[in-house]
Structure 1
Amino acid sequence: MEILRAIGEKILKILQFVAVFIFIIFEEVIWEGIAEPIYKKIRSLELLHKLEITLNKTHVYIVLFLFLLLFVGVEVAGLIAMVYFAQGFMILGTLLYLSKIPIAGFTFWVFRVSQDRFMEFRWFEYIYWKIVDFFDLIKESTIYKNILNQVVELKNVIKNIKNRYFSKNSLFFKNMKNLYLKVKVLWNKESSK
């Protein structure tokens, strides 16, 4: 029995690690790098200010139906993209996943605009707070904190490499520019003959 419990704990830790890792990838890479800028752009569009007024005037059941339709569609697209990834169709999975991000940004905007109205539904409020509690539970875990620290370190390493080699003032960038100019001069001499 002790062996089974130890195996169960190991499997649970592996599953927890995978879940936390996926959550961090979503939060750090996809949300901060792609979805949040799209959401901010969507939020700043003049057309959406008019749509916000329309949503606020529309019956809450219709807005909730629209939100749930978009939300389920985005989540299903994400699941299908993961199936494509698992089957080895990386390009197709990537294209599907990337194409759902603007729709997810719009869906998030609809949620933010209508959140107070949605919270009037007890079932919606209950599910919302259960999801928030689940995310808080993940963020409080040791595994999450350890992986997040490693992600932050990796981001700093990448930032340092970028600043060292790819900033306009870096020696590497200047050498590449000089090499390009020399090759260009040689190319022009050869092509003018």
Structure 2
Amino acid sequence: MSLPEPAPLVVVMGVSGSGKSTVGAALAQRLGVPFEDGDDLHPPANIAKMSAGVPLDDDDRYPWLEAIGEWLAAHQADGGVMSSSALKRKYRDQLRRHVPHLAFLHLHGSREVIAARQATRPGHFMPASLLTSQFATLEPLAPDERGLVIDVAQSVDAIVQEYVDRASASRPTTEES
């Protein structure tokens, strides 16, 4: 007899324009858990700063990441999917302080693919001019971090299916004797 699986709790991460919100919403629907767009948890000052083309610094991000971590902690029992850039290891560590078993789905793509996607998002508060700073800040998942890296140069359905398949295959099964 296998032990019950914990409810899935996933952060869909990556640079702006990688599809975090779209993939996150589709993944949450597939997993049957709530979705929250991390952008909606930014304080107005952060949105104003990014809208002006100014990258956020760690002091700007700290309270935003705390709000994300609190949402994740509140959804541990039933699961959930959150979109968040989570570009640096220390940001992901901050989220894991709220939920140690947190998994990440890193949406990875070339600068050209991401720039083309950003060009189709007129009116988004994150201007394309900040893409360079996003790539400069990005620290890929380390081998000791729980998560998967998936290329964004495929359909949303394919990304979600790949995540579900790979996450299921990597989950250990524990049998009762």
User: TM-score normalised to the size of structure 1?
Assistant: 0.26
Q: TM-score, normalised to structure 2's length?
A: 0.28
Larger Rg: 1
> Whose strand fraction is larger, Structure 1's or Structure 2's?
2
